[in-house]
Amino acid sequence: MSDSVLRDNELINFCLSYLDGILEDSRVRVKFFLEIMNAFKDKMDLIAILFNFIKKSGEQHHRDIACHILVLLIDAQKIEKCEETAKNFVGYLLTCMGIGDGNILTQSVSVQRTKPFSMHAYTFALMTICKKNELAREISNAMGFKILDEILTGPCLENPQIAYNVVATLWILSYHDFNSKYFEDYSLGLIEKVTKVLDYFNTEKIVRILLMLIDNLKSNAICQEHLSDIDALSLVIKL
């Protein structure tokens, strides 16, 4: 993408909003995007184009929309056709928000200016991209779970959609045995923090996805101890 186009905010906003609107109106249309992309003789890699745009763009709003389109494309594309770019993007997601002392994902204005994505876009990207097993493994490390842990104790308690995105991400990751150690870790306390979300939001979709997560963890002996410690039985009966 040329510098002159990158400087044309009105054009970029129109194009991104138009593409995103097409997908949001009907998610099945993503397959047409892929068919057009794969039909080009010189192979126009829209996934790589959007990723490069995200790294260059100076507008968070534009990066958010581009990120939304990008993860939908990655989710729909066969992994062997986008694996390198997709894994690079996951690495970017895990490092772009930074890790430091205290709550790394604070929503204060002074800090948020340095973040490439809004928390809505960021958590949607994590939730969507980990649907692919190969990419779930890329997220499943100490840094990935540290980020999810800090979102749970901050932005999750401020917005129901962010809470849903993060709990859904954890639910998807809970299907993989290699993530058991993170759910078992008492120092992280993920199970307790997840159930705390219900103190703030009790919409049907949040309750449903949280119960689905507990259902996945209930057969793990150590996770059973966590669930017993927080009196999960009373919680389920109350729900």
- Averaged pLDDT for residues 73-89: 93
- Averaged pLDDT for residues 206-224: 93
pLDDT score for 202: 86
pLDDT in tens, 90-131: 999 999 876 433 334 443 333 333 579 999 999 999 999 999
Question: Considering the entire predicted model, what is its pTM?
Answer: 0.86
Instruction: Band the pLDDT of 41: cuts 50, 70, 90.
Output: low
pLDDT score for 2: 54
pLDDT score for 209: 95
* Residue 188: φ, ψ to 5°: -80, -45
More confident site: 59 or 43 = 59
pLDDT score for 108: 34
- Averaged pLDDT for residues 65-82: 93
pLDDT score for 91: 93
For the ranges 19-33, 79-93, 175-189, 218-232, which has the lowest average pLDDT? 19-33
- Averaged pLDDT for residues 143-160: 93
More confident site: 179 or 234 = 179
- Amino acid identity of residue 216, one-letter, is N
